[in-house]
Amino acid sequence: MSEPKVGGPAYKWIALSNTTLGVLMAAMNQTIVMISLPMIFRGLHVNPLGSGQTGLLLWVLMGYTAATTVLLVTVGRISDTYGRVRFYNLGFVVFTVGSLLSALTPGIGAAGELELIVFRVIQGIGGAFLFANSAAILTDAFPPTQRGLALGVNQIALIGGSVLGLVLGGVLASIDWRLVFLVSTPIGLLGTVWAYLKLQEIGVRTRRRLDIWGNLTFGVGLTALMIGLTSVLMPYKTAPMGWGDPLVQGALACGALLLAIFLWIESRVPDPMFELRLFRIRPFWAGNLSGFLASLSRGGLQFMLIIWLQGIWLPLHGVAFSQTPLLAGLDTLPMMVGFVIAGPISGMLSDRYGARAFSTIGMVLSGLGFLLLTTLPADFNFPVFAAYLALMGIGMGLFSSPNAASIMSAVPAQHRGAASGMRATFQNAGMMMSMATFFTIAIAGLSAHLPPALKSGLTHAGLPLPLAVGISHLPPVAALFSALLGYNPLSSLLKPNILGALPAAVRQNLLAPHFFAHLIATPFSESLHTVFYISLGLSLVAALASLMRGKHYIEELHGPSAERSSLDPAAVPAAEPTD
């Protein structure tokens, strides 16, 4: 094991500023595409109702997060051996290359979408290197009494970057969709040079053998599971979702089987990539469980809010679709404000008083925010909506910083890269599963409520009953994405000769840009309320898990020496930690 080098008194602030930049850039990229999808698809000349477009749209949106999630643990584990700073620097380089390629996407139509998906995956690989190592680098650089503050600032960059991506994406997409990806290139170049010149390898490194079979079963298993969870959102034959598709069932079964084999392998190999023995540390397993549940409860929230704002609420208020991405991003700012206020405060206080109270109260407040959102109609009052989002932001801020500090401070120094990767994997996996869960619930609700709403609204608008009945069977996922992309599907669903036979006033009303938003508003709102109730339940369970983490625990002060070369049973506290 190599001895850690001294970084100097100012080094911790260099590490904080650089890792904050890296996390901000990587987190921003997760949502900047979400808000810009309408302009990206128009720039690529794509019809969202075309054959196979739903699947491609989902992978343009989720390919980045999927690639990041699959690689996080592997990268964190390897970084413990070969250097966290080295692989963090590599992350900046790979991410920058992926951003530049995405901005230069040469193709159009389906070919352009496929190219963009590949380039997004490259970005995701770079993001994995950044996410997996940022918390470990900070934990190495800061003393135990300041880790909550440092990781709090880092978590603000994570959540703040997600919200900033919505705003920045709305601004840039209105100019040129390629700027959405190009904006990350100068940031990535700056971060690459800065990290190379200033960051130092001061963490404990341990030489271990590569867990080949563990890496393979985990990577392939998680990928199969994500493919299944994404594909299930698409219609299969006459069903609105793909649960009956043998390929979906096979992917989910294969993923679950491989992950079970992975756990069996990890419990037997001498140098596992996934340190199961870390789960003997109470703050580690309780923090990761509550973090996973928190991500599961809110991971799909931003996407649902964007559909609500961009596809329904803003059009209902007469906003042109060219302006909805920017305004939808701005309308989510109260959540970031709440997070920025609560994050640093809870981080500093948790350094002194421990994470349990702050993280638990944070999840209770988040749950209260979800409960309050269920009281809003589709056409809500914005100040009330903004207050609820601010409350949720405060809850997230109270939870995230102490929870991250609690996890990272509880593990031995030589396992911080693996622990950081595991923590980020649970968080990203929760987000991916949340997206699939939110979509599943929303589509299931639309399957029940959308057909009668379409039939009633179309006949009331003057469309003959037989045509209204036919259109009422529009696949819910197509309706959802049409609303998101600002696209009135009636222009495609009604043939020119049928439109020509309708009275001019009826035709003009049916093809009005905002007509479809009126049709889908109430069914979508009813489905969204169901999603919020489930998120409320998950938030409360996350609060309970947070409460189980025990009292304030710092491994250097209470645990065994960090100089041990491996994590043996004696090196892990089995009892509840105490102050």
Please state the three-class secondary structure of 400-459 as a single string. HHHHHHHHHHCCCHHHHHHHHHHHHHHHHHHHHHHHHHHHHHHHHHHHHHHHHHHHHHHH
Long-range Cβ contact pairs of 384-387 (< 8 A, separation 24 or more): 385/331, 386/331, 386/334, 387/334
Predicted model pTM:
0.79
DSSP 75-109: HHHHHHHH-HHHHHHHHHHHHHHHHHHHHT----H
Residue 199, token pair as written in the block: 């960051």
- Residue 480: C-alpha distances to residues 19, 303, 528 (Å): 36, 11, 12
Which residues, in sequence order, are CB contacts of 449 under 8 Å at separation 6+? 522, 523, 526, 527
CA atoms 344, 345, 348, 351: torsion sign: negative
CA atoms 524, 530, 536, 541: torsion sign: negative
Q: Which amino acid is at 297?
A: S
CB 18 within 8 A of CB 197: no
Residue 176 backbone dihedrals phi, psi, to 5 degrees: -165, 130
CB 329 within 8 A of CB 170: yes
CB 106 within 8 A of CB 115: yes
- Going from N- to C-terminal start, the domains of the chain cover 11-210+271-447+520-556, 211-270, 448-519
CA atoms 174, 179, 181, 186: torsion sign: negative
Per-residue pLDDT of the chain (579 residues; tens, 9 = 90+): 443 444 467 888 888 888 888 888 888 887 888 888 888 888 888 776 666 677 777 788 888 888 888 888 788 778 877 788 889 999 999 999 999 999 999 988 888 989 999 999 999 999 889 888 887 888 788 887 777 777 777 777 777 787 788 788 888 888 888 999 999 899 889 988 988 888 888 766 666 677 788 888 988 998 898 888 778 777 777 777 788 889 999 999 999 999 999 989 988 888 787 778 888 888 889 999 999 999 888 877 878 888 888 888 988 888 877 778 778 888 888 988 888 888 778 877 877 788 888 999 999 999 999 999 999 998 899 999 999 999 999 998 899 888 888 887 788 877 777 777 788 788 878 887 887 788 888 888 888 888 898 899 889 888 888 888 888 888 887 787 777 777 778 877 777 778 888 888 888 888 887 888 888 888 888 888 988 999 999 999 999 999 888 665 555 545 443 333 344 444 444 434 433
Per-residue pLDDT, 51: 67
Per-residue pLDDT, 450: 87
**Among all chains, which residue has been given the structure tokens 């037997």?**
268
- Show the 3-state SS of 302-359: HHHHHHHHHHHHHHHCCCCCCCHHHHHHHHCHHHHHHHHHHHHHHHHHHHHHCCHHHH
Per-residue pLDDT, 203: 63
User: How many CA atoms lie less than 13 Å away from 282 in the CB half-sphere?
Assistant: 20
Which of 95, 64, 106 has the alpha carbon at shortest distance from 431? 64
Running DSSP on this structure, what letter comes out for residue 241? S
- Euclidean distance between CA atoms 397 and 256, whole angstroms: 33
- Euclidean distance between CA atoms 65 and 68, whole angstroms: 5
- Euclidean distance between CA atoms 488 and 507, whole angstroms: 13
Which of 566, 571, 542 has the alpha carbon at shortest distance from 418? 566
CB 440 within 8 A of CB 241: yes
- Euclidean distance between CA atoms 385 and 483, whole angstroms: 20
- Chain centroid, CA 271 distance in Å: 30
Architecture of domain 11-210+271-447+520-556: Up-down Bundle (1.20)
Q: What angle, rounded to 10 degrees, do the helices at 356-373 and 282-298 form?
A: 20
- Euclidean distance between CA atoms 241 and 233, whole angstroms: 5
Per-residue pLDDT, 540: 95
- Euclidean distance between CA atoms 181 and 126, whole angstroms: 14
Per-residue pLDDT, 578: 38
Longest dimension (CA), the chain: 82
Residue 315, token pair as written in the block: 């059009």
CB 416 within 8 A of CB 446: no
- Euclidean distance between CA atoms 133 and 262, whole angstroms: 23
Which of 305, 284, 326, 307 has the alpha carbon at shortest distance from 393? 305
Per-residue pLDDT, 570: 42
- Euclidean distance between CA atoms 480 and 476, whole angstroms: 6
Residue 121, token pair as written in the block: 């995956």
Per-residue pLDDT, 256: 93
